Amino acid sequence: MAFKCVQGDSTSIPMYCGASSSLVAGELSVFDVSTGAAVSPVIDSTASLLAENVAGVVLNTPAAADVYCDVIPIRGQVWDYDCTSTPTTAMLGKVNDLTNSATVANSTTISTANTGFVRNIAIVDSTNKIMRGFILGGFDAVAN
């Protein structure tokens, strides 16, 4: 499932991803600010990147030759997402990191500043490890 918008504006916009993109529909993308290049393409997010660089959720997997992809920017929407661990009520209200660009490393521990990508607000399906929450990033990045 990865990330699925369940409330709010899901309008996408084209963002530069470069010709060697590994982006996948439904996964979280970030601006690649590590290269120091004049242009910072969107790339798939990992647990080591910062929430302040979140671009949005990829709408469609780009073809091999595409240099742009459609991304839903983060604007306060509510999202359902896959989790690594079985959700519990002790995880609600907590800010958590990512396991990878499609899965949240949900925990009862609040993530450190600038690495927390989601704030959990509800358990959707504990059997299938799905929670609901806000994606934090860009101007919404959290500092705990």
Q: List pLDDT tens digits, range 45-59.
A: 876 677 888 899 999
Of residues 53 and 3, more confidently modeled: 3
Does residue 138 carry a pLDDT above 60? Answer: no
pLDDT of residue 143: 45
Spatial distance between the Cα atoms of 141 and 113, rounded to a whole number of angstroms? 9
In b/e form, how buried is each residue of 105-119, taking b as 16+ CB within 10 angstroms? bbbeeebeebbbbbb
**pLDDT value, residue 35:** 64
Select from 16, 118, 18 the least CA-distant residue to 71: 16
How do residues 6-33 score in pLDDT, each as one tens digit? 999 999 999 998 877 789 999 999 888 7
pLDDT score for 81: 97
Cα of 37 vs its chain's centroid, Å = 23
pLDDT score, position 139: 47
How does the average pLDDT of the chain come out, rounded?
87
Average pLDDT over residues 71-85: 94
Report how far apart, in Å, the C-alpha atoms of 16 and of each of 35, 39, 67, 80, 123 are.
Answer: 15, 9, 6, 25, 34
